[in-house]
Amino acid sequence: MAANPGFKGDLLAAIPGLRAFAMSLSQNADRADDLVQETLVKAWDKQASFQPGTNLKAWLFTILRNEFYSQMRKRGREVQDSDGIMTGRLAVHPAQPGRLDLEDFRKALEQLPEDQREAIILIGASGFSYEEAADICGCAVGTIKSRVSRARNRLQEILDISGEADYGPDSIAAQVMGSNG
Binding site for other proteins (CB under 8 A): 2-5, 7-9, 11-17, 19-20, 23-24, 33, 36-37, 40-41, 44-45, 47-48, 100, 102, 105-106, 109, 120-121, 123-129, 148-149, 152, 155-156, 159, 161
The CA distances from residue 91 to 43, 60, 75, 87, 169, in Å, are 39, 34, 28, 11, 8
| Shorter beta-carbon distance to other proteins: residue 32 or 78 | 32
Angle of the 130-137 helix axis to the 141-159 helix axis, nearest 10: 100
The nearer residue to other proteins, 47 or 175, going by C-beta atoms, is 47
| Residue 123, burial from CB neighbour count under 10 angstroms (0-12, 13-18, 19+) | buried
- Considering the complex, state which of residue 4 and residue 179 has its C-beta at the smaller distance from other proteins: 4
Give, rounded to a whole angstrom, the gap between the first and last alpha carbons of the chain.
50
CB closer to other proteins out of 100 and 141: 100
Contacts of 53 (CB under 8 A, 6+ apart): none
CB of 20 to other proteins, least distance (A): 4
Q: Shortest Cβ distance from residue 78 to other proteins (Å)?
A: 26
Task: Give least dist CB 94 to other proteins, A.
Answer: 11
Sign of the torsion angle spanned by Cα atoms 84, 165, 167, 147? positive
Q: Cβ of residue 81: shortest distance to other proteins, in angstroms?
A: 21
CB closer to other proteins, 40 vs 137: 40
CB of 86 to other proteins, least distance (A): 20
d(CA 109, CA 155): 7
Q: Where are the alpha helices (DSSP H) in the chain?
A: 5-26, 29-45, 56-74, 102-111, 114-124, 130-137, 141-159, 172-177
